[in-house]
Amino acid sequence: SKWVYTFGDNAAEGRASDRNLLGGKGANLAEMCSLGLPVPPGFTITTEMCNRYYADGRRFPEEFDAQLDAALAYIGKVTGRRFGDPENLLLVSVRSGSRASMPGMMDTVLNLGLNDKTVVALASDSGDARFAYDSYRRFIQMYSSVVLGLDHEIFEEILEDAKARLGHDLDTDLSAEDWRDIIGLYKEKVQEELESPFPQDPREQLWGAIGAVFSSWMNQRAIIYRRLHDIPESWGTAVNVQAMVFGNMGETSATGVAFTRNPSTGENALYGEFLVNAQGEDVVAGIRTPQNITEAARIAAGSDKSSLEKLMPDAFRSFVDISQRLENHYRDMQDLEFTIERGKLWMLQTRSGKRTAKAALKIAVDMAQEGLITKQEAVCRIDPLSLDQLLHPTIDPTAQRNVIGTGLPASPGAATGEIVFSSEEAEEMSSAGRKVILVRVETSPEDIQGMHVAQGILTTRGGMTSHAAVVARGMGKPCVSGAGLLRVDCRNGTLMALGQTFRKGDIITIDGGSGQVLKGAVPMLQPELSGDFAAIMEWADEARRMKVRTNAETLADARMARSFGAEGIGLCRTEHMFFDGQRIVSMREMILADTEKDRRAALAKLLPMQRSDFLELFEIMAGLPVTIRLLDPPLHEFLPKTEEELEEVAEDMGVSSEKLRQRTEALHEFNPMLGHRGCRLAVTYPEIAEMQARAVFEAAVEAGRKAGKLIVPEIMVPLVGLRREFDFVKTRIDAVAQSVMEETGMTIEYLVGTMIELPRAAIRADHIAESAEFFSFGTNDLTQTTFGISRDDAASFIENYQKKGIIEQDPFVSLDIEGVGELVRLGAQKGKTTRPDIKLGICGEHGGDPASICFCEEVGLDYVSCSPFRVPIARLAAAQSAI
Ligand code: PEP
Ligand code: MG
């Protein structure tokens, strides 16, 4: 088989689309040659050879030898030189290049082919002995560390000693003679360390380097990098061998890197840096300060060092021309490497350039407007999750970070404020106009008020779907959850981090995008939602099929979600509406009531509050669909947790603390998430569901009257497993609708549907759909109940599962398509079998996750519903999955 592909001289055996076989670098070198661009001739050894090398116990197949000779002869023919021939010197570079860019891989070996004889030839060829010996010593250094596995420090030491002895500070002060002496010392050192001489045979050097590149595929750095970036081992790496060109042949030579557009702002202007008389490694090493390529960039940077444009105008013009051609050819912003050898430009690499979220938007929109790509392509060019960076204030990337701890990046954005340890403190201080960060071990529904007024939330326990994380995302507040190494002592009001103690009022910053907790205030950048962002969103909306709704219950969230383009509410969690002021008191009265009569009396107090909540939501949503879910959590969530709170609440309510304690104990459950919650509450206490239904219908009638058009509310029953459970609750809801119609003399149209969040519901969806008019997949609970993993406790061990390669993604963040997804697919299919026009949506956290959204498109859901700040992400992801 064919292991080697040549390129050079305006032709190539491979092309850009051969990336899997030739690696990114090799495929693009071939493509550039075919485009007629100046690329030093060379060849690529395929990724298949890499796999074969490992399969054969790190050995090369016999026929490879002949292919390698032929390829070397090809380079010789194009350059008019011969590898290993001191009379007609050909030196090569050897570089790795896998399918995905992998900075953890082997470094480059340059100047390969130099030895004691050829270095003399290089000196006379170039007319520069100093350059020749400097190149040789660099080669010995690089080869010894990359291929022979010696520590490069040992060479640095020799060099430093020599400089000290000779009284020189800089490498550039050393003469050809000096370098020759140092080379002698280097070779002695190699002999001493390896008990064999530095290889003089160029072919042996080449075989060694090729083997080292392949071996580097399995080095620790590469293995870890692959694991972190989901790169399969089976991809292998390619090896690129290329005729050397020298950027260090004096003042008319240079080497540099550039982007065809600015990678941080997206501005359509060539942007890059170079060094005169240098080899590639010098630019990266950062010892010398690089110069700007264009005059405009030089002026903008206020640099007094000459630009390439001024210094080498001919090479600059060719480079500008080539970079334009490459961008037009690849139809994307390119990241380029080049070398200028005695005034002649050579291209060494091109690839799509990495860029910030902001630059990605600008580049995509500009390119669509320039006609280089279509609007749909522009939509597909943006990583939906990267929008998160744009919707919130973020930490200025140039800011100093004093990190005191790290947790999960539970809700994006950054926030600074004074530490508070309770909801009450948060309210107190924020009403005095101070900005606070609420710091808790974990949060509960009682903390909602405090979370609302805080700038951000930090918890030391809990995962990505913990209460703090879900509620914070819903509110669009930055949140870092599960920062396990931080110690919160709420009683004494301290936060311990890295041996430092922080108290109430001390300033911290949290970065919900990275999970970092920082000491003090940090400079921020503000979001920008018009312009390019708006353009991409508009094009996404033209392309998508699924609707995007939001999970919201507060007016602020609902309004914000509308401003982000939400097309209705997919989940209003009514339990979140029972914690404010008077409501929690009435709620507790209801829970403490001994008789249905007393319960109804307490519920009657809650009715007007619920009604006005719903009315306002209907008004904000102005005729868009609104799904209201009946009370879901176990009732004890509304009761005080600690003895102190209990005493306080008992006094406020005018009941004995004994009674309150008894009731709290009676409501205690071993496993509340699998306990008396969801529709089970409505089965036990139908009057709660009836009150909520009444509030919904009365609000719908009133909103309809005000708006002069019918409002069609959707009432959703949670945690249904049995059709009869659903029917039991629906009958009550229908009866309430009937009474409200009679009382008001208005007709009410409404839908009653269910959450599908238990495996049994998915399996029996055809039966449930006989009475349920819509389904909303509650994939938080469905994941919890399918895996049998508590969503509140998962964080502590899921990460271990990821590290050990048992699962790739946290299933509470990105839908487990093979398992939980299968249940969603089944539920959707079965639902449609019974009721072909059944409305299908998703309202678990997955409704805002791009990969999960793609799956929702595939199974034909009608909409996804997610927290307000995820709405733009979902709009974009829904568009991409429809394109
Ligand atoms: C769900 O379970 O997916 C859901 C949306 O409900 P909650 O998160 O309120 O349990
Ligand atoms: Mg649920």
- Compute the distance between CA of residue 750 and CA of residue 741 in angstroms, rounded to an integer: 12
Partner residues linked to 95 by β-bridges = 240
- Compute the distance between CA of residue 767 and CA of residue 680 in angstroms, rounded to an integer: 19
- Residue 476 contacts residue 558 (beta carbons within 8 Å): no
All residues at 6 or more sequence positions from 705 whose CB lies less than 8 Å from its CB, including other chains: 746
User: Cα(635) to centroid of ligand 2, in Å?
Assistant: 15
- Model confidence pLDDT, tens digit, residues 631-671: 999 999 899 888 888 998 899 888 899 989 998 999 999 99
User: Cα(843) to centroid of ligand 1, in Å?
Assistant: 7
User: Tokens representing 415?
Assistant: 């926030």
Residue whose C-alpha is closest to residue 462's, from 497, 511, 411: 411
Q: In whole angstroms, how far apart are CA 413 and each of 163, 438, 455, 623?
A: 51, 15, 10, 31
Partner residues linked to 11 by β-bridges = 8
- Compute the distance between CA of residue 549 and CA of residue 557 in angstroms, rounded to an integer: 12
Residue whose C-alpha is closest to residue 209's, from 283, 152, 149: 149
User: Cα(787) to centroid of ligand 2, in Å?
Assistant: 14
User: Tokens representing 312?
Assistant: 């080498």
Domain 393-525 shares a fold with domain 544-574+608-628+681-882? no
408: part of which helix (H) or strand (E)? strand 408-411
Binning pLDDT at 50, 70 and 90, where does residue 446 land? confident
Is the pLDDT at 339 greater than 60, yes or no? yes
Residues 405, 409, 414, CA angle at the centre, nearest 5°?
80
Class of domain 393-525: alpha beta
- Model confidence pLDDT, tens digit, residues 758-816: 999 999 999 999 999 999 999 999 999 999 999 988 877 888 898 787 988 899 999 99
So what's the pLDDT on residue 653?
85
- Compute the distance between CA of residue 137 and CA of residue 127 in angstroms, rounded to an integer: 18
What average pLDDT does this structure show over 593-604? 93
CATH 3.30.470.20 is held by the domain 254-355: yes
Indicate which atom in ligand 1 lies nearest the CA of residue 465: 8
So what's the pLDDT on residue 301?
82
What average pLDDT does this structure show over 374-398? 90
CATH number of 544-574+608-628+681-882: 3.20.20.60
So what's the pLDDT on residue 414?
93
Residue 482 Rama label (left phi>0; alpha psi -120 to 50; beta): left
Measured from CB, residues less than 6 Å from any atom of ligand 1 are 571, 573, 632, 757, 778-781, 843-844
Pocket of ligand 1, candidates 573, 674, 789: which has the most ligand atoms within 8 Å of its Cβ, to mutate? Answer: 573
Binning pLDDT at 50, 70 and 90, where does residue 195 land? very high
- Active-site positions? 467, 843
Pocket of ligand 1, candidates 549, 571, 679: which has the most ligand atoms within 8 Å of its Cβ, to mutate? Answer: 571
Q: In whole angstroms, how far apart are CA 116 and each of 207, 544, 783?
A: 19, 66, 67
Q: In whole angstroms, how far apart are CA 543 and each of 287, 377, 880?
A: 49, 11, 8
Indicate which atom in ligand 1 lies nearest the CA of residue 551: 5
CA dihedral over 294, 295, 296, 302, signed as positive or negative: positive
Give first-to-last CA distance, the chain, whole Å: 38
Indicate which atom in ligand 1 lies nearest the CA of residue 843: 5
So what's the pLDDT on residue 255?
94
What average pLDDT does this structure show over 460-478? 80
- Compute the distance between CA of residue 279 and CA of residue 479 in angstroms, rounded to an integer: 46
So what's the pLDDT on residue 287?
61
The mean of the pLDDT values for the chain is: 93
* Per-domain boundaries in the chain: 4-243, 254-355, 393-525, 544-574+608-628+681-882
Half-sphere exposure of 533 (CA within 13 A, CB side): 17
Is the pLDDT at 285 greater than 70, yes or no? no
- Residue 588 contacts residue 649 (beta carbons within 8 Å): yes
360: part of which helix (H) or strand (E)? helix 357-370
CA dihedral over 487, 492, 494, 497, signed as positive or negative: negative
- Model confidence pLDDT, tens digit, residues 688-706: 999 999 999 999 999 999 9
- Residue 96 contacts residue 238 (beta carbons within 8 Å): yes
So what's the pLDDT on residue 171?
80
* Amino acid sitting at position 93: S
DSSP letter at 631 equals P
- Residue 784 contacts residue 765 (beta carbons within 8 Å): no
User: Tokens representing 522?
Assistant: 């940090």
User: Cα(777) to centroid of ligand 2, in Å?
Assistant: 9
Helices (H), 147-201: 153-166, 176-194
Binning pLDDT at 50, 70 and 90, where does residue 103 land? low
pLDDT more than 70, % of the chain: 98
What average pLDDT does this structure show over 856-861? 98
So what's the pLDDT on residue 854?
98
Beta strands in 114-253 (DSSP E): 237-243
List the residue whose alpha carbon is closest to atom 10 of ligand 1. Answer: 781
CB contact burial 513-540 (16+ within 10 A = b; e otherwise) = bbbbbbbeebebbeeeeeebbebbbebb
- Model confidence pLDDT, tens digit, residues 114-170: 999 999 999 998 999 999 999 999 999 999 999 999 988 899 899 999 999 999 888
Helix (H, G, I), strand (E, B) or coil at 769: coil
- Compute the distance between CA of residue 740 and CA of residue 694 in angstroms, rounded to an integer: 7
So what's the pLDDT on residue 804?
83
List the single range of 168-177, 510-519, 709-718 with lowest mean pLDDT: 168-177
Residue whose C-alpha is closest to residue 719's, from 759, 774, 766: 759
List the single range of 127-136, 317-326, 392-401 with lowest mean pLDDT: 392-401
So what's the pLDDT on residue 435?
94
So what's the pLDDT on residue 462?
78
List the residue whose alpha carbon is closest to atom 4 of ligand 1. Answer: 778
45: part of which helix (H) or strand (E)? strand 42-45
Q: Could you please report the per-residue DSSP string of 632-666?
A: -S-GGGGS--SHHHHHHHHHHHTS-HHHHHHHHHH
Is the pLDDT at 208 greater than 60, yes or no? yes
CATH 3.40.50.720 is held by the domain 4-243: no
List the single range of 211-225, 324-338, 365-379, 429-443 with lowest mean pLDDT: 211-225
So what's the pLDDT on residue 286?
57
The verdict on pTM exceeding 0.95 is: no
- Residue 828 contacts residue 855 (beta carbons within 8 Å): no
CB contact burial 152-163 (16+ within 10 A = b; e otherwise) = eebbeebbeebb
Q: How are beta strands 494-497 and 500-503 bridged, if at all?
A: antiparallel
